[in-house]
Amino acid sequence: MSIDLSARQRALLKARAHALEPVVQIGQAGASEGVLAEIERALTAHGLIKVRLAGADRASREELSDRVCAHTGAAAVQQVGRVLVLWRPRPDDEPLKG
């Protein structure tokens, strides 16, 4: 499942995520099943989360973020350095405008 966001929706989610702190940290071991399960729980509870990624280079962090998005069905709102913002709509959330 791929979530397509318009530029306006992405901007709205970026603004909401600005004040958030990372709730999950992916270490050097990568995205283990336990880490992916924790990301699933956080997305179910909050819908919009920040994840801190470990990795020496940009390519490995991008690969890691692609794997997380594919596993969780979440959309990558933005990635700034080692911080990834993920969003997945919750059933009780209002639809995004835009």
The residue ranges of every structural domain in the chain are 7-87
Nearest to 69, CA basis, from 39, 95, 33, 30? 39
> What burial class does residue 8 get, using C-beta atoms within 10 Å of its C-beta: 0-12 exposed, 13-18 middle, 19+ buried?
exposed
With H, G, I as helix, E, B as strand and everything else as coil, classify residue 89.
coil
Dihedral sign for Cα atoms in the order 79, 65, 81, 49:
positive
Q: What is the pLDDT of residue 96?
A: 83
55 confidence band (pLDDT: 50, 70, 90) = confident
Higher confidence at residue 3 or residue 15? 15
Topology of domain 7-87, CATH:
Translation Initiation Factor IF3 (3.30.110)
Q: What is the pTM of this model?
A: 0.92
Q: What is the pLDDT of residue 91?
A: 84
